Amino acid sequence: MAPRGVPYAVVMPYPGELPESLLRKVVTGSFRGEGAARVRTARPSSTPICHPWPDSVLGPRRCGDGAARIKRVTIEDLVGERLMIGLSGATLSDADVRVFQDTRAAGLILYRRNYEGPAALATLLDALESALGRRLLVATDHEGGRIVMLGAGTTIFPDNLAMGTAGEEAFAFRQGQFEARELRRLGIDLNLGPCLDVLTERYSPNIGIRSYGKDPRIVSRYGVARIRGMARGDLSACAKHFPGKGHSPLDAHLKLPTIDSTPEEMRATHLPPFLEAMAAGVAAVMTSHPVYPKLDPSGVPATFSRRLVGDWLRGELNFAGVIASDDLEMGAVSETCPIGEAAVRTAAAGHDLLLVCHTAPAQRAAAVALVEAYRSGRLPLAEGEAAAERVRRLRLLRAARREGGPPAPEPDARPLAQAIATRAVTEVGHEAVDLRRALNGRVAVVFPRFSDLAPRITIEPEIADERGWVAGAFGSAGITPETLVVGIEPTADEIAAAAKRAAAADATVLFLFDAHLYASNRALLEAVQAQARRLAVVLLRDPYDAALLAPGVRGLTAYGFRKCQLDAVVARLTHP
C-alpha cells in the first residue's frame, strides 16, 4: 500500500465479496493490516468487473454499482509497476531508496552482489519495503548449477544438462518443490527460470549446460515438471528465453546475436517447451535478445519485435501471463540504442515487465523515457494499463514476504542433488590404459582457483577451499594427491608448473575450465597432455572441450562444477 499522499489504485476487483466495513477501509486506504490491498478472489460470473487501472490517468473512475471511487493512478505509477530493477550491494542506502521512489519500480531482482546470507537479505528486503510503504515483486535467477545468486540457505543443484542426462522426471519435480520452499523462506516471489532453450548441434557459448538437452521432448518434460514443483511450493516460475536461443552463436550479455532459423525449425524444435510450460500455467515467460530475421524480417532484436512478442506470444499463442524482457543493460541491447529508447521499444513490442538490472542512471533513464512515451501518445495507454495489471496481480499474489519458517536447505534436497549428479556423470574421452592402477601411485591434481570467482558468482565454500576439497574428495579413495591450484585463466608460469607436475606423476587429473573459450586453458590442456604419463580430464562446464582431448586421455563430465557434480566425477574416477 502506498504512503499517504501518493496516488495509487487500491484494488478490490470484486467488492461484493468483502464486508462493507472492511471494503470501506481498503478503498479509503485506512486499512493497513498485513493483507491490505492484496486480497484476491475468484471472479464470480454475476459481479461486474472493475478494471483496477482507470480508463484514464487524468482522473478517478467509479467501478460497479455503488462501489467507492478508486484512487487516481498516475502515468509514473503505471510505468513503475512494470519496472524490475537491481541494487548495487547487500546493504540498503538512501540512494537505493530514492531510485525506487523516483522510478516507482515495483520489482527487485537480486544478484550475488546483494547476498551476504539469509539474515542480511531479510534486513535488506524489510528495510526497502518499509521505506517504500509497498510490497515489491522480488525475483532472482535460480536456475541451478552455474546460475545461482543466493547460496547460503539453499541447495545448489546440478546444471539442467545434468538433470536431462540423469533421466528421471520425478527428480525435476522434487527439485522445483525443494527450491520453492527454500526461496520462499528467503522472501523470493519469482524464480527467473527454468531455462527452456533447446540445444542443437550448433555451438552455444552461453546456454550450454543451462539447457536440459537437444531433444525438445526432454526439455519440455523436465522443464514442466520443475515448474509444477515450484508451483507446489508456492513459487512463481519464469520460462526463458522465448522463442528459444539454445543455438545462439553469441552471448547476448556481450553482443547481439543473429539466429537464422526458419519458422518451421523454431516450431519443431525450439517452441514446444514453451507451449508445454504455458499449458502448465507458468506465471511468466522471458524473451530473448537475438535477431531472428526469418521470423521477423524487420531485423530488430526479438526484445523489440512486436511480431514475436505481441502478435505471436501474446496473440497467436494466447499467453495470458506476464511477459518479461531479459536485462536491457546487456550488450546485445546497448549496441542497438540508448537505454531509454530500448525501454520504450521493449514496451511497444508487448512486454509487461522490463528488467533494468544494474545501474541507477539506466534505471532512471528507462523510467523517464517510458513516462514521456505514454504522455506523448507514442505508447498506447490502454496497453500500458493492461500490462501493469498483469504485473500487479503477480506482485500481490502472496501477502507474506516469507513463509515456511527460518531459512534453511530442505533436508532431502542435498541427497537428491547428489543422486542427479551421480547419474549424470558421462565418459567423453578415450580409454586411458592403466589409469586405474596408476592412481595407486603418485597422483597430481590440477584444479582451478574458484575462490577468485566468489566475489562475482556463487561459489560453494567447500569448492572455494580448493586444496581442502581435493584432499577430501580423493582422500576418501585412499589417494593423497599433489595439488596445484591455478587461475581460472592460468598464467604461463602456472601452465609450466602443471606440465612439470604431470611429467613427474604416475597419473594426473586435470580439472579443465572451458578450453574452447579461454586460450590459456587450451594451452594448459595441451601442455599437460604433452607431459602426462596417464591423464584424466574433468570438464567443468560445457562438454565442448571433449573435442580437444588427445587419444589415450580419459574424459569425464557431470556437466558443471558444483560440489555434488565434482564429488560424483571423482567417485566415478576412483571407483569405476
Catalytically active residues are: 253, 326
Report which secondary-structure segment, H or E, holds 485: strand 482-486
C-alpha cell at 531: 607431459
Q: What is the DSSP string of 328-346?
A: TTSHHHHTTS-HHHHHHHH
Does residue 474 come out as left (phi exceeding 0), alpha (psi in the -120 to 50 range) or beta? Answer: alpha
Write the DSSP symbol of residue 167: T
Strand pairing category for 426-427 and 554-557: antiparallel
Q: Using alpha carbons only, give the angle 33, 38, 39 rounded to the nearest 5 degrees.
A: 100
Sheet holding 137-140, edge to edge: 322-324, 284-287, 236-242, 190-191, 137-140, 107-110, 83-86, 354-356
**What distance lies between CA 547 and its chain's CA centroid?**
29
Contact present, 458 and 112 (Cβ < 8 Å): yes
Residues 179, 187: Cα–Cα separation, whole Å:
12
CA-based end-to-end distance of the chain: 60
Contact present, 567 and 554 (Cβ < 8 Å): no
Q: Using alpha carbons only, give the angle 458, 286, 453 rounded to the nearest 5 degrees.
A: 15
C-alpha cell at 376: 506523448
Residues 222, 321: Cα–Cα separation, whole Å:
21
Residues 49, 52: Cα–Cα separation, whole Å:
9
